[in-house]
Amino acid sequence: MKGIVFTEFLEMVESKFGLETLDNIIENGHLPSEGVYTSVGTYDFNEMVTLITNLSEETKIPVGDLIYAFGLYLFSGLANSHPEVIKNYNTPLGLLYCIEDHIHVHVKKLYPDAELPTFKILDKTDNKISMVYSSSRGLYRLAHGLIEKAFEHFGSTATITYDLLKEDGTEVKFDIVQNG
Ligand code: HEM
């Protein structure tokens, strides 16, 4: 997993839960990287799992809810670090439609060792899109947060529902309807 995901995660923990919680989740983690990450580095996904599990224990907030909150936070971090990746989009549905074929393709050029999910578009109209998230990492709650924030980014909102096609969350169908 790319370092930018870790640096954004630690930033979120500090701003939402404070420095003491941040120190605790790193110190209790026995992490190979000892909580030190650079945005261009690549680290074991298990380190992220450990950090989130520790944060859940510290805060008593379920892991899935923390991952969703992180998705909301991460969108702005990615957009601010790489404005060129999203500058050509002027609607949230247009952006979602292009994650697979443009946005993450661009990301792969920036970070050749990025491990990205796939999004298969099932259906798209002027106000809705259905797509299937697939990834061995099962971070569909992260995708949910990112999608929701994409609408906010364009001053809009959406009703987002999802169905787990596989119980472990490695394949999830999203139905997204823009409000208004
Ligand atoms: C990883 C979804 C937009 C850059 C991910 C992951 C998800 C995701 C769920 C976690 C990896 C996995 O599940 O296997 C989305 C969605 C987007 C979006 C739903 C739009 C709403 C973007 C944008 C950028 C970006 C705009 C960059 C400007 C990345 C990077 C990673 C990532 C760097 C980490 C890859 C790694 O750790 O190896 N994306 N993404 N994404 N995405 Fe996106």
pLDDT at 29: 77
Quote the CA–CA distance of 171 and 40 in Å, as a whole number. 28
Q: Quote the ligand 1 centre to 2 CA distance (angstroms).
A: 10
pLDDT at 81: 95
Q: pLDDT tens for residues 35-92?
A: 999 988 999 999 999 999 999 999 999 999 999 999 999 999 999 999 999 999 999 9
Quote the CA–CA distance of 86 and 155 in Å, as a whole number. 15
Report percent pLDDT > 90 for the chain: 96
The pLDDT of residue 99 is above 80:
yes
Among 37, 80, 96, 99, name the best residue to mutate to test ligand 1's pocket (greatest count of ligand atoms within 8 A of Cβ).
Answer: 99
Q: Quote the ligand 1 centre to 118 CA distance (angstroms).
A: 10
> Does residue 10 have its Cβ closer than 6 Å to ligand 1?
no
Neighbouring residues of 166: CB distance < 8 A, sequence distance ≥ 6: 172
Q: Quote the ligand 1 centre to 143 CA distance (angstroms).
A: 8
Q: pLDDT tens for residues 107-165?
A: 999 999 999 999 999 999 999 999 999 999 999 999 999 999 999 999 999 999 999 99
Number of H helices, E strands in the chain: 8, 4
pLDDT at 125: 96
pLDDT at 128: 98
pLDDT at 120: 98
> Does residue 97 have its Cβ closer than 6 Å to ligand 1?
no
pLDDT band at 30 (very low <50, low <70, confident <90, very high): confident
Give, using CA atoms, the residue closest to atom 21 of ligand 1: 147
Give the nearest ligand 1 atom to 86 CA.
26
| β-sheet bridge partners, residue 173 | 132, 163
Among 76, 85, 103, name the best residue to mutate to test ligand 1's pocket (greatest count of ligand atoms within 8 A of Cβ).
Answer: 103
Q: Quote the ligand 1 centre to 158 CA distance (angstroms).
A: 19
User: How many residues are there in the chain?
Assistant: 180
Quote the CA–CA distance of 161 and 117 in Å, as a whole number. 18
